[in-house]
Chains A and B, each alone.
Chain A
Amino acid sequence: MIKQPSLDRLDEESRRHAEQAQAAMRELIALIPRRFAYADEIDLVFRPDHAPNDAQ
């Protein structure tokens, strides 16, 4: 099994900093709108030279 990063393997100070960063990231995640429904058009690929409504 591939080893995953874990806060448990950090020393106490590093863990505290990482937890603070993760808490701040959760605040940003909470801002993401969740209004996109499964029936909406999905266009996940970002290309600056696509016209906005180009199909993939």
Chain B
Amino acid sequence: MRSDPAAPPLTAAAASRALAAGRVTAAALVEDCLTRIAAQDGRLDSFVLVVAEEARRAARAADRARKAGRARGPLHGIPFALKDIYGTAGIRTTAHSRLLLDHVPKQDSTVARRLGEAGAILVGKLATHEFATGGPAFDLPFPPARNPWNTTHFTGGSSSGSGAAVAAGLVPLAMGSDTSGSIRGPAGYCGIAGFKPTYGVVSRSGVIPLANSLDHCGPMAWTVEDCALMLDAIAGHDPADPAAADRPYKSVRRGLKGGIAGMRIGVIRHFFERDVEAEPQTLAAIEAALKVLRKLGARLLPVTLPPHRDWDACCRVILYAEAYAIHERDLAERPEKYAAITRARLFAGQVVSAGDYIQALRWRRELCLRYAEAMAGLDAVVTGCTLNPAPRIDDMAKPPFFSPKGRLLMAPFSITGAPALSVCSGFSTDGLPLSLQIAGAPFADATVLRIGHAYEQATPWRERRPPL
């Protein structure tokens, strides 16, 4: 049984049902992905490596296993791709960098291993900003990924290839990572769902780090339901990650469709109205989204937090101090190997003194307490995410490479480690996606996803695909 590559791509959930019902095979799903990649990725550059023969072999094995009654679960036979910072045994993992062009891990990252154990099929490795922190750059071994909605525009980053590949329907599922917005930003600009789980819920073992106290691994998919499907396969304590949350993981899919009637949702207006102003179409889309949430029965309440500037500064001081420590030796010995944008950003960490870093950590603790106070009595908060449609990629690749003012509302949920979801909230008049962010208290991942799913189901945004 074959899938139809001319038809809109299947979500992972739909593909899973089709596989279980015998309407499609894993081999057909993988072939569909490979056909779409061959047809579209020349324009998108979302993949840095496609493992076609390995994927075909794994698909045939998955079909044999299913026929023998040994299907492993809902992800059995479902294709996926990994941001090229996730270690894959025997498969090159480059972080999109000249420094790691020959790097072939001996072991899978925990995420890659868990997805394999779930029966999912790796199709390839995805473009990323160099070491998850550079930017779109044309001085790297691979070109930057491009936005499928308009290929002259930026995908967002650093999970750039993940955003592009999922939006274009090249794969139904991808992994990204998020240190200060690297899942949510590309999800927002590419019009897909991107989820940053609570810090420590998904293992970072085997993932090339950027900033250890801020790195989160999370799913990116066309729908919130697919994010939940993927999260259930990868989440849970891992002794190999010293920051892994030490509490039992409960499936987020179970309560996903419970609706949001009666939920108390805080709205952090000052973030997107005053602190960092959303452009008018984004603002209108956020207001429309709030109306949808009210119509679904949620009660919206105003929330005030410290100004976004504080969160952003605290986050980036910590981030670049930690990143500098990781890259210190290579910056000393072979700085010319980095892209200009990556090098500049990493050197920013050089001026953070030990005293600055420690004071920033104390500030972080204070900000976390403010967030916890604000969340008391609330099920979740809503605010902006990307505050304008995706900019042109050429503009993003130009200096200056480090701005003192962050334009994305990511930092608060990065430094608190709170679960945060980016969902599509509509489109600009130019056909570029707009986004909304839903976040919760630490470990309220299921609630955040439930709200995102309810919003998605009540809006028409998933019916529209990029005009490729």
Contacts and interface: CB of A to CB of B under 8 A. Distances in A.
A49 interface: yes
A19 to B, nearest CB: 8
Interface stretch (B3-11, B54-62, B309-317): B309-317
A52 B442 CA distance: 12
B249 interface: no
Contacts of A6: 332
B401 A49 contact: no
Nearest to B373: A52
Given A6-B332, A34-B359, A46-B361, A29 B343 contact: no
A32 B343 contact: no
Interface string A1-43: 0111111011001100110111011111101111010001011
Interface stretch (B282-290, B297-305, B349-357): B349-357
Contacts, number: 128
Contacts of B401: 17, 20-21
A32 B356 contact: yes
B200 A29 contact: no
A28 B316 contact: yes
B347 A22 contact: yes
B351 A29 contact: yes
A18 B247 contact: no
Interface stretch (B29-37, B364-372, B427-435): B364-372
A55 interface: no
Given A14-B343, A42-B362, 15 more contacts: A3-B332, A4-B328, A7-B347, A17-B340, A17-B400, A18-B347, A21-B344, A21-B348, A21-B400, A24-B404, A33-B359, A33-B363, A36-B362, A44-B361, A52-B369
